Amino acid sequence: MKVEFLGGARTVTGSATLLEKGSLKWLVDCGMFQGGKEIEKRNHNTRSYRPETLSFILLTHAHIDHTGLIPKLVREGFQGRVICTQATLDLCEVMLRDSGHIQETEAEWQNRKSKRSGGKGASPLYTVEDAEKSLRFFSPVKYDEVISLNDGIKVRFQDAGHILGSAIIELWVDEGGGEKKLVFSGDLGNSGQPIVRDPSWIKEADLLWLESTYGNRLHKSREETLRELLKIVQEALAHQAKVIIPAFAVERTQDIIYTLGQFIREGLIPSIPVYIDSPLAISATEIFKKNSDYFDRETEQILSGGDDPLDLPEMIYTRTTEKSKAINEDKGAGIIISASGMCDSGRIKHHLKHHLWQEQSHVVFIGYQGEGTIGRRIVDGAKSVRLFGEEVAIRAHIHTLGGFSAHADQKGLLEWLSHFENSQLEVFVNHGEEKNSLELSHLIHEHFHLNTSVPQWREKRTFFVPEERTLPEKEGGEVTPSEETFHTLFRHLDRNFKRLRKKLRSMRSKGEIVQDPRWLEKLGEMNRKIEEMESEL
Ligand SMILES: [Zn+2]
């Protein structure tokens, strides 16, 4: 089978893998590239996704960096099924529409700008209408059920514990010579995260795609993070100040609501006004409430005790822009949760402009801040940032709370990987900034002695090709290898060398190769053979 790494390869965003078995083609995830002009150019060229020839798209979860290009593919002729869990479908309904809206607004802004400079107009990547059309292709499945798809392909979704409805995808592909198993970790959650369950363990796979967002980092513990947040809220209450929390609309916002509710239920803080200032976060919270069957045991217990874990005594939803602007006129202590989580767009920018220069205010970062974003600059200690064409000084208290992450950290990723029982597993480390992926890949090789690599963007690989291959014969009996065969053979050679080295090292460490005359002779002979090969080359 053939694989092309279309996204999330040495980057965090744009997750997509194209798989091909004979004439059947499908994708696992179909994410949008985010985080700066250069990388976002990739969103405009989706020819290599071959939308009209795809039979289906399997989705690990609803985040835009895993789903955001679906409406574009539908516009370009995709007619297959989009297979995901029900909660992913519900979240995609609001998130893809919202994404269509953002694309339209951005194109309008670009157009106004280029008109002024006499340039050409821009058309949106896709529209709200395209997003709505794409929803017709969605087909929900349950966790833990093995589902047969076209041509001997089977799939199973298991809880990834990252956001509501997130899944690890197990894929069985009948390759003629036997069934092979592929596993896509998707984004893996942090164990102990509220609302969602812990990530499921997988025991077997031939090929594994493993995320590495925090492949080189360790999170602070959740308990420590909760203590820090509690202290910040108490300080804001004492000084009648505001706490600004830039948060992703899905999962992180609900996680904060849940945590503040926990503080109030335990009597640690009095009730405080909490503004949910993001229409998307409001809709997402409603979807969470509708899908309570995805909740973990602790959240179910709060529900059955008669409390709503996703509600607060003074929760204020602000859907309209007018109401959002009015928040900054409210005096006194309060918490403003707003999107986008990396501060590059949305209403959070207004709140930052209003509060960053005020010494009493607190800005609390609880999620990943991508390279090149305003959030990253603030976290990295900038003295000022540019917001709406104005330089705003940073005097507020800036906090970064690592324990709210919806991603497993380095330890969590290695822990999850340790549940695989087969030693022949080959791992592709993806969904991470290059240095994080490389570090995790190196660690996996050290700890588990597995064959690992960090694929490049648009790298193509072929797997499970029968060992004996006949090369096509040209007239006159001369053999001409095709480019593909050549690459396959080369890769086999490379892999055989690696295997040999691994085997030798493991035999030595197990004491199977010993310092006796028989082994001295054997090792000498092997060295001679390798030298012979080298001189032949
Ligand atoms: Zn995600």
- Over the stretch 403-441, which tens digit does the pLDDT of each residue have? 888 999 999 999 999 999 988 899 999 999 999 999 999
Residue with tokens 């010494």: 359
Ligand 1 center to 13 CA (angstroms): 9
Is the same domain home to 415 and 504? no
> Domain span at residue 236?
222-404
Is the same domain home to 252 and 176? no
Judge whether 148 lies within some domain. Answer: yes
Is the same domain home to 91 and 62? yes
Q: What CATH code is carried by the domain that includes residue 130?
A: 3.60.15.10
pTM: 0.81
Ligand 1 center to 38 CA (angstroms): 21
Ligand 1 center to 249 CA (angstroms): 12
| Residue 433 · residue 281 · CB < 8 Å | no
Ligand 1 center to 146 CA (angstroms): 23
Ligand 1 center to 422 CA (angstroms): 27
Ligand 1 center to 124 CA (angstroms): 24
Ligand 1 center to 32 CA (angstroms): 12
- Distances in Å between the Cα of 156 and the Cα atoms of 79, 133, 426 are 22, 26, 20
Is the same domain home to 210 and 301? no
Is the same domain home to 164 and 56? yes
Domain endpoint, select from 388, 404, 420:
404
Residue 159's nearest CA partner among 145, 138, 179, 139 is: 145
pLDDT (0 to 100) of residue 466: 57
Percent of the chain with pLDDT over 90: 73
Domain endpoint, select from 370, 404, 438:
404
Ligand 1 center to 443 CA (angstroms): 23
pLDDT (0 to 100) of residue 345: 82
Average pLDDT over residues 334-348: 91
pLDDT (0 to 100) of residue 484: 57
Ligand 1 center to 198 CA (angstroms): 15
Q: List phi, psi (to 5°) of 521.
A: -65, -45
Write the DSSP symbol of residue 317. Answer: E
Ligand 1 center to 427 CA (angstroms): 20
Judge whether 260 lies within some domain. Answer: yes
pLDDT (0 to 100) of residue 472: 47
Sequential DSSP letters for 376-414: HHHHTT-SEEEETTEEEE--SEEEE-GGG-SS--HHHHH
Is the same domain home to 7 and 54? yes
Is the same domain home to 389 and 491? no
Judge whether 537 lies within some domain. Answer: no
Q: What CATH code is carried by the domain that includes residue 381?
A: 3.40.50.10890
Q: How far, in Å, CA of 278 to CA of 254, rounded? A: 12
Ligand 1 center to 85 CA (angstroms): 14
Ligand 1 center to 517 CA (angstroms): 57
Ligand 1 center to 82 CA (angstroms): 17
Q: List phi, psi (to 5°) of 507.
A: -60, -40
| Residue 175 · residue 21 · CB < 8 Å | yes
pLDDT (0 to 100) of residue 284: 96
Is the same domain home to 93 and 170? yes
Q: How far, in Å, CA of 72 to CA of 81, rounded? A: 15
Judge whether 398 lies within some domain. Answer: yes
Q: Tell me whether the omega of the peptide bond preceding residue 99 falls within 30 degrees of 0, making it cis.
A: no
- Distances in Å between the Cα of 90 and the Cα atoms of 57, 95, 135, 478, 482 are 16, 9, 10, 58, 46
Average pLDDT over residues 255-271: 96
pLDDT (0 to 100) of residue 515: 82
Ligand 1 center to 406 CA (angstroms): 8
pLDDT (0 to 100) of residue 185: 98
| Residue 246 · residue 223 · CB < 8 Å | no
| Residue 406 · residue 193 · CB < 8 Å | yes
Total structural domains in the chain? Answer: 3
Judge whether 89 lies within some domain. Answer: yes
pLDDT (0 to 100) of residue 482: 59
| pLDDT band of 529, cuts 50, 70, 90 | confident
Ion ligand 1: residue ranges with CB closer than 5 A: 63, 187
Is the same domain home to 319 and 231? yes
Ligand 1 center to 61 CA (angstroms): 7
Is the same domain home to 159 and 169? yes
Ligand 1 center to 187 CA (angstroms): 5
- CA quadruple 373, 379, 384, 388: dihedral sign: positive
Judge whether 213 lies within some domain. Answer: yes
Ligand 1 center to 167 CA (angstroms): 10
Ligand 1 center to 368 CA (angstroms): 10
Judge whether 513 lies within some domain. Answer: yes
Residue 465 predicted with pLDDT over 80: no
Is the same domain home to 300 and 445? no
Judge whether 416 lies within some domain. Answer: yes
Domain endpoint, select from 367, 387, 404:
404
> How many beta carbons lie within 10 A of that of residue 532, not counting itself?
10
| pLDDT band of 518, cuts 50, 70, 90 | confident
pLDDT (0 to 100) of residue 183: 98
Write the DSSP symbol of residue 208. Answer: E
Is the same domain home to 351 and 298? yes
